A and B are shown apart, each in its own frame.
Chain A
Amino acid sequence: MRRLAGVLLLLLGLGGWLGWTVPPRTDLAAFLPPGGTPASAFLFRELQSGAATTLLLAAIEGAPRAELARLSRDTAAALRASGRFAFVGDGTLRLGEAEEALLFRHRYLLSPETHAEAFTPEALRPRLEALLDGLRSAASPLLARIGFADPTGAFFGLAATWLGGSQVETSDGAWFAATAAGAPRALVVARGHGAGLDSEAQQAAMDVFRAAFTSASPGPARLLLSGPGVFSAEAAAGIRADVRRVALGGTALLAAFLYWRFRSWLLLAVVSVPLLAGMLAGYAATTLLFGSVHAIALGFGMTMLGVAVDYPILLLTLSRESESLASAATRIWPTLRLAAVAAATGLLAMLGSGLPGLVQLGTFAGAGLLAAAATTRWVLPRLLPEGAAVAARPLPPVILALTSALQGRRGAAIGALLLACALLVGMGGPRWQRDLAALSPVPVAQQALDAELRGQLGAPDVRSLFVIGPAPSGAEVLRRSEALATAAEPLIRIGMLTGLDLPSHYLPSPELQALRQAMLPGTEALAAALREAVAGLPFRPTAFAPFLVAVEESRTMPPLGIAEFTASAPTLASRLAPLITRHEGAFWGIAPAAGVTDPQRLERAAIALEIPGIMFLDVKLEMERLLADYTRLTLLCALGGGLAMLAMLAFALRSATRALSVAAPIAGALVVALAGLALAGEELSLFHLASLLLLAGLAMDYSLFLAHAATADDGVLGDTFGAVLTCAVSTLLTFGLLAFCTTPVLHGIGLTVSLGVVGAFLFACAMTPRRAPELA
């Protein structure tokens, strides 16, 4: 007794120590693949740590328009005051005086309208007429202040580029859109300083946002937040809630069931020893191999290791009355060893998939199963006092009658197998999950809100983009961006896309700025052109003196570089920042494409452009391809693992026929699970594959023990039925609960294993030969 308590404490202590020294990682970076091609490598890095991940989109609803506008203004002001955001966009957004001054000063270097023909009398004339028209309008005070220094309107063009990017309706200092029901909705956008899916920083940013909203005394109005950070937080919270519910519910159900079967609290403690040891070993092995365990792999791995309760249950149920636990362990060890090693082989096959998350999951579950089996064999028998045999209570007669009625009905089993196969084929085989988004644990409603807000803010989710880089400097990124702009023009003309959001759109490269400087006319030439253009218009000869001075200054001023731009114009720079990033000393740029109708066609056209240092990337296509690659690889691994299991069986049982008859229930379980999933309309993902491997291991336990018992004494078979049924029900209780989870991955694992475990038990029963009555 004391030894049992000591071991439990030791395991818990070790687990705590391990978790403390090497805590599980929660950032997605460790879970996603590194990416095989430069495009996918860039994609994953951006998804994990790109500036896009710091974006927060907010909607304020549920109050009258004026109140929403006030809330929006107050919230945005509080966000700006918090200093946590590099950029806060709302209806009050405008350029600061210093930023306006910077744009104004550099207007002829930055404006795309600066070219030699822009300063001829013919080009100047309509500009001057437009200025005169403006001076007649209500905008007269503004034009009187700026128009004479900038008659070509270069500054207004720039300001429009910077502020007029979005199509949002601005009124009363707030951006407005409508909800689906037609009620008003105020919109706010914020971009954080922090880069990456650092979930703590994301959470902190969201908390600041919510606090800013609350401090504006919202009354009945509510705040809806969206964005990658919200997604990862929601996903984590969703998984956490599901795992907690399943862990608590599953443990309680399992404990209640085992207590009902054995009427012993001692047994519960005993059963938990291999389970804890397995988890500890899984954690240690994964940490040793990969440096850390990802929280997602840990959660799923622990769930999967739930099946390790089978081992102590089998040991305790199969030990005979007069037998010591140690000798029972020795007796069943060959079968137990075979079952555990074969199951672990199947799970370890996932190592070949190359997907870091699955590799960790395979390692965790495989190592855990082996450790749990070993603990059952060598540790458990020593933990129980000699006389303290734990015996299972006899099963209710109804159940025994049912199982023995099923026993030996191979024809029915094969018939059911064929029926399931036919069903599966009839439905066109299992359907594969092609969209990674469907795996996201983020609720569909939240995804829909995100799409809606992005649409309304004119900030569509980046799907097709050009990637510029790696480049030695930011200036080089801008240069290539300009080359891209020229090269992509024909594609825009034929309507393959409607436009590109280029970094050079916001800040031209130093070369282009120098080129524009060279095109600016000298004071004499410009004055002459103006004199000609102004003929007949009521402007005084001295009216445009500030214009002459500004153009002359522009000819010699140093070009505006990224560093100065970022330092002196934070609002402007926040538009450029998401498009230029720095990674390991190299600069990268992106140019998202808008209005793409056919990404595949655009991809072909983009590749044909052959611009050096620029590649095309369609996030969805790339993801689908990667997923297809990984699925194919994982499927191959699973098949390989299955074959390895079969070979191991054949070797251990020394007979291909016996191996096949043991394998038949496994195949049955898999086919039933696949048919059930297809019927339920589930699309198969990598996690379903992993679950199928786990299921194969479980089914083998049942099959091996029943086949083994069928060759032994008569009494053994009944006990074994009881033991296997206990195992199956235990598994069904925990995994059945998983099937009710909302997290797609957990739901998939739960449904697969639950369906399969029922199939595995029924098939194993039916395949067990009926003892010929005349021999009894």
Chain B
Amino acid sequence: MIARRALLLLLPASVAHAADAALERQMRALAAVTERSSRFTEERAIPELDVPLPNSGTLRWIAPDRLEKHTNWPIDERLTVTGDRLIYERADRGLRRDFALAEQPEMQALTEAIRATLAGDLPALRRHYDVAFSTSDAGGWRLVLTPRAWRVLGAVQRIVVTGQGAELRGVDTEGQGGISRMRIEPAP
């Protein structure tokens, strides 16, 4: 009885160990790409709405810490994260806001999910989330991120980042009864 329990305890540990190695390998592969431009399409499903809200734009990553998300349809807005700062711009309304990321925990949780993944920065990911990693046979991988902060959990319950090799393919964000699905492909 006791032996079985001990075995149960041991088993996930060794699996986790193997997964850790794979995760670290994956992170190194991601970190090797220091600059990338991608296009994204996103669909936000909100329980109060009949239909999901689509939008699309470009993502741009410059190592070590700059991420730009430029939505150009149906509205024009730009989020730029550099270091610990966040700039929100909405050109059509002449709006520009400059925040410290730390002031905006929800926003920080969302942006770090993409940025820390692209940077291959596992410690940063683990600072904000509990991380579960799995791979598929065809080089596909999947990160399930659960926010560690209670306040963030109120708005975001789970972020699932998927990819293929060194490419990011999708970010699904679940929270407040809704889900936002982002599909990503390299810019032509």
> Is residue A180 within 8 Å, beta carbon to beta carbon, of the partner chain?
no
Chain B residue numbers with a CB within 8 Å of A544 are 48
**A138-B79 in contact given A148-B48, A173-B103, A543-B48 (Cβ < 8 Å):** yes
The reply to whether the CB of A135 lies closer than 8 angstroms to some CB of chain B is yes
Binds B, one of A139-147, A273-281, A396-404: A139-147
Distance in Å: Cβ of A430 to nearest Cβ of chain B: 55
Asked whether B176 lies within 8 Å of A136 as measured between CB atoms, the reply is: no
B71 CB → nearest A CB, Å: 8
CA distance A7 to B100 in the complex (A): 72
Q: Does chain B have a CB within 8 A of A172?
A: yes
Q: Would B156 and A540 count as touching, CB distance under 8 A?
A: no
The 7 tightest CB contacts between A and B, nearest first, are: A543-B48, A171-B98, A538-B50, A172-B100, A538-B51, A141-B155, A538-B49
Q: Flag if A141 contacts B48 (CB, 8 Å).
A: no
Indicate whether B149 reaches chain A with its CB closer than 8 angstroms: no
Docked CA distance A132–B55 (Å): 13
A-B residue pairs in contact (CB < 8 Å), sample of 22: A136-B74, A136-B75, A137-B75, A140-B180, A141-B156, A141-B175, A141-B176, A142-B106, A144-B48, A170-B98, A171-B85, A171-B99, A173-B102, A538-B50, A538-B51, A538-B53, A539-B48, A539-B49, A540-B49, A540-B50, A543-B48, A544-B48
A136-B53, A136-B55 known; A173+B100 contact, CB < 8 A: yes
B172 on the A face (CB < 8 A): no
- Whether A140 contacts B44 by the Cβ 8 Å rule is yes
**In the complex the two chains form, what is the Cα distance from A683 to B106 in whole Å?**
62
B178 part of interface (Cβ distance < 8 Å):
yes
B90 interface contact, C-beta 8 A: yes
Any B CB within 8 A of the CB of A133: yes
User: Per-position contact with A for B70-105: 1 when CB-CB < 8 Å, else 0?
Assistant: 010011010100001100101000000011101100
Assess whether A137 is in contact with B77, with CB atoms less than 8 Å apart: yes
Does B63 belong to the interface (CB within 8 Å)?
no
Across the interface, B49 reaches (CB within 8 A) one of A138, A141, A142, A543, namely A543
Is residue B46 contacting chain A, with contact meaning CB distance below 8 A?
Answer: yes
Give CA–CA (A133, B73) in the complex, Å: 11
Distance A167 CA – B107 CA, assembled complex (angstroms): 24
Closest A-chain residue to B178, C-beta based?
A144
Give every chain B residue within 8 A of A144 (Cβ-Cβ).
Answer: 46, 48, 176, 178
Residue A49, interface by CB 8 Å: no
Contact of B75 with A133 in the complex, beta carbons under 8 Å: yes
Bound CA–CA A540/B100 (angstroms): 36
Chain B nearest CB, measured from A111 CB (Å): 22
B residues in contact with A203, CB < 8 Å: none
Is the CB of A92 closer than 8 A to any CB of chain B? yes
Do A539 and B50 have beta carbons less than 8 Å apart? Answer: yes
Shortest CB-to-CB span from A96 to chain B, Å, is 13
A639 to B178, CA, bound (A): 86
Contacts of A538 in B (CB 8 A): 49-51, 53
| Extra 10 A-B pairs, beta carbons < 8 Å, given A140-B44, A142-B106, A538-B49 | A69-B100, A133-B75, A135-B46, A138-B77, A141-B176, A144-B178, A169-B98, A539-B49, A540-B47, A540-B49
Is B53 within 8 A of A135, CB to CB?
A: yes
List CB contacts (< 8 Å) of A96-152 with chain B: 132-133, 135-138, 140-142, 144-145, 148
Minimum CB distance partner of B87 in chain A: A171
